[in-house]
Amino acid sequence: MKRLPKIVLVPTTTDAIAFVVSLCIHLTAAIALAFCLVMGGGQGGESLLVSLASESSTAPELTSVVIENHVELEPSTEPTEDFVPELNTSLSLDTVTPVVEERIGTIGTLQSELGSQVKLASASAGSAERIRASEASGSDKSKTRATFFGAEAYGNRFVFVIDSSGSMRGPRWDALYAELMRAIQSLSEDQEFFIISFDSIAHPMFGEPPPKGKFLHPERKSIERVSSWLRSIQLGHQTFPSGAVGIAMALKPDAVFLLSDGEINDSTVQDLRVWNRIQEEDGSVKPRFPIHTVLLHSQIGFATLELIAQENGGTFTPVSARIP
């Protein structure tokens, strides 16, 4: 039910003092009036009453009014938005320490397990990488390596480019024949080879350039056929390996062996700077195939063969003549 506002009259401090003073005056006047009535027999009573009435007009005035909207509200049990429950936030060190130590121990265990897993993964990746590197570098020598006068190459497909100029006649050709036969016979069943001789022109194996001429596996029949072909070669003139090297590049081998006993007199060095180059994604340039050079029983052509090896990712091997 709607309640009407309650009006409360509140006197000020000044009004209260005036009221007390007026009360004292009226009491004094009343006593004096009583005394006069007793002494005067009721004379002057009317004037006294008028005087009293006049004095009563000095009663304190109400100088302020305060209106209060007095409404009774029933208590609510629902908390307001600003209600904040009073919590007991006091924790003893003895209570907190075991919990913290337990959490730290759990985190340490997880870190240890994670570290072990990372190390295991790294070790596995490292092992796989080492296996791949081993296969690429030819650590399994019986399957991925070829040797020729001490020079080593790795892979599965090899091209032997050999000098068949007139200066190779005699002990040099005999040494070349023996070493070349040994090199191809030492290859594994999965490896392949191709041979190109050169003088003034290139002479591919069996007179068959690619695509008709193909790599051979080191099988018995193939080796016997190669032996016959080598013995049938007629040594010519000049030392022009450029054509033979071009055929070797077309075969896309894993490595090339280039042997000569003299100075190279054509554009082989310059041609290889074009033919045997590949550009990486970062802009760098590297050889397509390594070329290992061999200088047989001579000092002539030393610098040129060494330069070819350096510029084409190979090794240079000078072979001295054996003194009987």
pLDDT for the residue 41: 47
Average pLDDT over residues 68-84: 46
291 versus 107: the higher-pLDDT residue is 291
Check whether 193 has a pLDDT greater than 90: yes
pLDDT for the residue 322: 72
Q: Which CATH number fits domain 141-319: 3.50.50.60, 3.10.690.10, 3.55.40.20, 3.40.50.410?
A: 3.40.50.410
With pLDDT > 90 as the criterion, what percentage of the chain qualifies? 54
Check whether 198 has a pLDDT greater than 70: yes
Average pLDDT over residues 54-72: 43
Burial state string for 86-116 with b = 16 or more CB within 10 A and e = fewer than 16: eeeeeeeeeeeeeeeeeeeeeeeeeeeeeee
C-alpha distances in angstroms, 94 versus 89, 101, 105? 15, 11, 17
Check whether 86 has a pLDDT greater than 80: no
pLDDT for the residue 34: 58
pLDDT for the residue 22: 65
**pLDDT tens-digit readout, 222-238:** 999 999 999 999 999 99
Alpha carbons 198 and 109: distance in angstroms, whole number: 70
The top-scoring range by mean pLDDT among 15-24, 51-60, 86-95 is: 15-24
Report the range of poorest mean pLDDT among 33-47, 179-193, 268-282, 299-313: 33-47
Average pLDDT over residues 306-323: 93
Q: How confident is the model at residue 8 (pLDDT cuts 50, 70, 90)?
A: very low
Q: What is the residue type of 96?
A: V
On average, the pLDDT of the chain sits at 75
1 versus 312: the higher-pLDDT residue is 312
Q: How confident is the model at residue 79 (pLDDT cuts 50, 70, 90)?
A: very low
Alpha carbons 98 and 68: distance in angstroms, whole number: 59
Check whether 17 has a pLDDT greater than 70: no
Alpha carbons 103 and 118: distance in angstroms, whole number: 22
Other C-beta atoms closer than 10 Å to the C-beta of 171 total 13
Q: How confident is the model at residue 89 (pLDDT cuts 50, 70, 90)?
A: very low
Q: How confident is the model at residue 73 (pLDDT cuts 50, 70, 90)?
A: very low
Report the range of poorest mean pLDDT among 15-24, 193-202, 240-249: 15-24
5 near 67, Cβ under 8 Å? Answer: yes
310 near 290, Cβ under 8 Å? Answer: no
Report the range of poorest mean pLDDT among 24-38, 72-86, 236-250: 72-86
3-state secondary structure the chain: CCCCCEEEECCCHHHHHHHHHHHHHHHHHHHHHHHHHHHHCCCCHHHHHHHHHHHHHHCCCCCCEEEECCCCCCCCCCCCCCCCCCCCCCCCHHHHHHHHHHHHHHHHHHHHHHHHHHHHHHHHHHHHHHHHHHHHHCCCHHHHEEEECCEEEECCEEEEEEECEHHHCCHHHHHHHHHHHHHHHCCCCCCEEEEEEECCCEEEHHHCCCCCCCCECCCHHHHHHHHHHHHHCCCECCCCCHHHHHHHHHCCCCEEEEEECCCCCCCHHHHHHHHCCEECCCCCEECCCCEEEEEECCCCCHHHHHHHHHHCCCCEEEECCCCC
C-alpha distances in angstroms, 239 versus 23, 210, 296, 300? 150, 22, 14, 12
pLDDT for the residue 68: 44
Check whether 199 has a pLDDT greater than 50: yes
With pLDDT > 70 as the criterion, what percentage of the chain qualifies? 56
pLDDT for the residue 66: 42
Check whether 110 has a pLDDT greater than 50: no
The top-scoring range by mean pLDDT among 67-71, 117-121, 299-303 is: 299-303
Check whether 207 has a pLDDT greater than 60: yes
Phi, psi of 221 (to 5 degrees): -65, -40
